[in-house]
Amino acid sequence: MNNTKDRVVMDKRAIKRTVSRIVNEILERNKGASDLVIIGVRTRGVYLAERILKLIKKLEGVEPPLGTLDITLYRDDLRRKTEWPKVKKTEIKFSVEDKIVILVDDVIYTGRTTRAALEEIMDFGRPASIQLAVLVDRGHRELPIQPDYAGCTIDTLSKEKVRVHLKENDGNDEVTVLQG
Amino acid sequence: MDFNRRHILGLEELSAEEITLILDTAESMKEVSKRDVKKVPALRGVTVCNLFYEPSTRTRSSFEIAEKRLSADVLNFTLSHSSVSKGETLLDTARNLEAMGASVIVIRHPMSGAPWLLAKELDSSIINAGDGSHEHPSQALLDLFTIREIKGNIEGLKVLVVGDILHSRVARSNIWGLLKLGAEVRVAGPPTLIPSHIENINVKTYYNLEDAVKGVDVVIMLRIQMERQDSEFFPSLREYARFYGLKREKLKLAAKDVVVMHPGPINRGIELSSDIADDAGSVILDQVSNGIAVRMAMFYLVASGGGNS
């Protein structure tokens, strides 16, 4: 925490502006919100998805359905037994059939979480398209997956950690890069 | 907390935290069964063998569905078709299955302790699907899951188990689980079918069903095993039904929102009067669908979590 080399890359106001920009891009590209459904990836993607939903409602007067995704059962490293992931609940109580799915996560890194999320969404039906929105793109992709909406792109070393704090879960809004 | 077990053999050896973790995981698994595509890739590439030395339809089917919903490859070995009938020992059979690539073995066996033998001798994960009159952890876990789902919590509940406690592995596993999660456990049945010294683990014994049922929140009725009815534990089925069968007027003595459960198959008119069996029907069917979720949780925890190192 007190390491002087840790750097804050986004503060509360920057996060607010960024989320609002992402929402505007989503609405612009999809010409409104009529066919949208929003799905947040646990844990912090869910809070970002809620914020995005709130803004869409404010701007467009419509409220797309909101779902949460727990990708644990779709991970590609389950059998390596390196860590023990607790399974939480996926909740998608609406049809994704022919909808535009806005998939929301806090950070994109290797792309493996997104790969798992795509597979899981497909098990719920055949959406018209899936678009990925992230707050932070930190590079180092291991799969050919790119976000459609990226809040901020930062250069990191693999050994560094990107820590996203959101008020709903962590008490404050902040994105920090921690030295490895 | 982490789940550091490679096997799930019985509830006696599980901690309250481990039991709660299995139930929490089962809640997530239950959601999978509500999807259009009822399948997740978690156990892709894992071979699970169901090794059943006793006839069983519902338990084996429930395990098999759980395995398939997790994308495991499933191998079924049942008594009549296997080399068991050619005289091969349990251990030799199991070693063969392991050599074929099974990394999880689900075993049901008439001898108490058989799953522990496999756990000691093999590298595979072992799940006990019922051993003799000892333990039946998946049934107890699904009962606990169902109770928790209906009542919200298990701690402080008064739970009565009725019937052949002496021979029942369902009763044994349930009693351990309920006690660990903080329920008050009562048992009722003919004196010949209640194990001696059961009070030593803090279980209250009743020989009179009316007394036992007073104020209870949950009644778990055990199946009278018709195949054992000619042995001399009670004079006749009719007499048993009269004294220990659950009928409307007896059930009125229980708490207003009492839940009646039965592991199935029900002998109507013996353990449960037909009207109670009909009323309890939905809970009993809940037990069946919860069984799949609980078994998925057991597989997930032993196959991906279990401190295998």
If you measure CA to CA, which chain B residue comes closest to A125? B36
Would you place residue A82 in the very low, low, confident or very high pLDDT band (cuts 50, 70, 90)?
Answer: low
Is the model's pLDDT at A5 over the cut of 80?
no
Q: In order of start, what are the domains of chain B with their CATH numbers?
A: 16-136+290-305 (3.40.50.1370), 137-288 (3.40.50.1370)
Is the model's pLDDT at B44 over the cut of 50?
yes
Weakest mean pLDDT among B112-121, B171-180, B269-278: B269-278
Is the model's pLDDT at A18 over the cut of 60?
yes
CB-closest option in A73, A86, A88 to B41:
A73
Chain B contact set for A84 (CB, 8 A) = 2-3, 304-305
- Whether A90 and B31 lie within 8 Å, measured CB to CB: yes
Closest C-alpha to A86, from B304, B141, B71: B304
- Whether B31 and A89 lie within 8 Å, measured CB to CB: yes
| Per-residue CA distances from B266 to B94, B261, B262, B307 (Å) | 33, 10, 7, 39
Burial tier of A8 (Cβ tally within 10 Å: 0-12, 13-18, 19+): exposed
Closest C-alpha to B186, from B128, B130, B258: B258
A140: tokens are 């180092």
Inter-chain Cβ pairs, chain A and chain B, closer than 8 A: 52
| Per-residue CA distances from B285 to B42, B97, B109, B139 (Å) | 26, 33, 25, 13
Instruction: Identify the top-confidence range among A64-78, B122-136, B291-305.
Output: B122-136
Is the model's pLDDT at A153 over the cut of 90?
yes
The distance in angstroms from the start CA to the end CA of chain B is: 18
A134 phi and psi angles, rounded to 5 deg: -130, 155
At A126 the pLDDT is 94
- Whether A78 and B42 lie within 8 Å, measured CB to CB: yes
In tens, the pLDDT along B177-228 reads 999 999 999 999 999 999 998 999 999 999 999 999 999 999 999 988 776 6
Interface test with B, best of A69, A73, A96 (most B CBs within 10 A): A73
| Per-residue CA distances from A155 to A162, A168, B68 (Å) | 11, 27, 43
Q: In order of start, what are the domains of chain A with their CATH numbers?
A: 12-160 (3.40.50.2020)
- Whether A123 and B45 lie within 8 Å, measured CB to CB: no
Which uninterrupted H or E stretch holds A175?
Answer: strand A174-178
Whole-model pTM? 0.90
Q: What angle do CA B205, B208, B214 make, to 5 degrees?
A: 80
At A83 the pLDDT is 62
Residue A128 at interface with chain B, using a CB cutoff of 8 Å: no
CB-closest option in B28, B36, B41 to A87:
B28
Weakest mean pLDDT among A8-12, A75-79, A155-159, B297-301: A75-79
In tens, the pLDDT along A110-124 reads 999 999 999 999 999
Is the model's pLDDT at A65 over the cut of 70?
yes
